[in-house]
Amino acid sequence: MDALKIVCVGGGLGAPTVMAGLRAYTSDITGLIAVTDSGRSTGKVRIALDVPAPGDIRNALTVLAEGDPVLARLFNHRFETDKSEDLNGMAFGNLFLAALTQQEGSFLVAVEEASRLLKLRGRVLPVTLYNTHLCAELTDGTVVETEVSVRATGKAPIERVFLKDAHVAATPGSVEAIASADLITLGPGSLYTTLCACLLVPDIARAIANADGLVVYVANTTRQPGQTDTLTLSDHVRAAQDYLGGSGLDAVLVNDDPPPAHLRDHYAEKGLGLLDPTAEELDRIRELGVRPVTAPIIDKWSGPRDLWLKQDTIRHDPERVARALVDLVEQSRRPALRAL
């Protein structure tokens, strides 16, 4: 097979997981990463220094880094101090990207310079350079602003999400990367605050919907309190398709390897119910015009993670996800057998 050209759309810990697995198959990976996070240390940097959210960019950069491992670890280092509320928990890489932005006068140049220093196997781009915020209209008519409010628990369900600023443009090079890709992956990760946040950039959604490459949504393993409390697996697919403009999604990759009972029970207690790929749900996905593909793609062997102010879930295994995705591309490239 020719060298794969891959674009991974998303953020958080999801898209970097996919990127981490796929880097074994190609160096032509472009991560198109969300920049609307407003919580934790990322939110503090955005408020203080007026830059797009650097946290998810930082995660993606370190996943593809092939330079000095000390520098990669330093990017993910979080300060621990009881003497400064603002500095406690701050990721060094977020400050580094903000400092480069001030020095170079461009967030894009900052990401490019960080990529050079980390010697990336691939490329990372923010989906937009606009320092905008995610908003949501809830089913009770309430409108909430900023990502941390959109994902908050204890509110009415999300009706729709939108960006605070109109006419937000895609980062230069992102649309071209999508157009030339053999494979475009969406997710996994927070449905509204990560995946849909990326698709709210019109040029990105339009390019994916019109792409010649295979477009695959890597489905989440569980529901997420505050965002998808009542949504089914097919509801997730429907939302992804909707924010693409109603078409363009070719397949959804769904885990069919049941997690061990202790993991299922642990996350269920926290409100993260498993998204089971029942026959009925798979039929509903087909009715949406999307092909469901089931494969063993979760990490069943690692226990729950203690994430700093982040919500843990049953995670995807990078190698298993990558193998399933590459198999899908290989199948799509095979010539159809001619009937005799």
pLDDT tens per residue, range 222-238: 999 999 999 999 999 99
- What confidence score (pLDDT) does residue 333 get? 77
- How high is the mean pLDDT of the chain? 92
- What confidence score (pLDDT) does residue 338 get? 44
Q: What are phi and psi of 23, to 5 degrees?
A: -65, -15
Report the percentage of the chain scoring pLDDT > 90: 79
Count Cβ atoms within 10 A of the Cβ of residue 306 and give its class: 0-12 exposed, 13-18 middle, 19 or more buried: exposed
Kindly give the residue spans of alpha helices, DSSP state H, lying in the chain: 14-22, 40-49, 55-64, 69-75, 92-104, 107-118, 147-150, 174-180, 197-199, 202-209, 233-243, 261-269, 279-287, 318-333
The size of the chain, in residues, is: 340
- What confidence score (pLDDT) does residue 269 get? 84
Instruction: Please say whether the dihedral angle defined by the alpha carbons of residues 123, 127, 132 and 135, taken in this order, is positive or negative.
Output: negative
Give SS3 for 175. helix
pLDDT tens per residue, range 135-181: 999 999 999 999 999 999 999 999 999 999 989 999 999 999 999 99
β-pair type (214-218, 158-163)? unpaired
Lowest pLDDT segment from 40-44, 56-60, 204-208, 221-225 = 40-44
Q: Say whether pLDDT at 339 is over 50.
A: no
13 compared with 204, residue with greater pLDDT: 204
Contacts of 218 (CB under 8 A, 6+ apart): 14, 18, 185, 186, 187, 188, 252, 253, 297, 316, 321, 325
Q: Say whether pLDDT at 310 is over 80.
A: no
Q: Say whether pLDDT at 1 is over 50.
A: no
116 compared with 272, residue with greater pLDDT: 116
pLDDT tens per residue, range 84-94: 888 888 999 99
60 compared with 300, residue with greater pLDDT: 60
Instruction: Name the pLDDT band for 335 (thresholds 50, 70, 90).
Output: low
Are the C-beta atoms of residues 208 and 240 closer than 8 Å to each other? no
Domain boundaries, the chain: 6-34+127-333, 35-126
Q: Say whether pLDDT at 3 is over 70.
A: yes
Q: Say whether pLDDT at 74 is over 90.
A: yes
Closest CA to 36 of 46, 27, 26, 44: 46
Report the percentage of the chain scoring pLDDT > 70: 95
Question: Can you tell me the mean pLDDT for 79-104?
Answer: 92
Helix (H), strand (E) counts: the chain: 14, 10
User: What is the helix (H) or strand (E) element at residue 170, kind and residue range?
Assistant: none
Instruction: Name the pLDDT band for 307 (thresholds 50, 70, 90).
Output: low
Architecture, CATH, for domain 6-34+127-333:
3-Layer(aba) Sandwich (3.40)
pLDDT tens per residue, range 6-53: 999 999 999 999 999 999 999 999 999 999 998 778 888 998 888 999
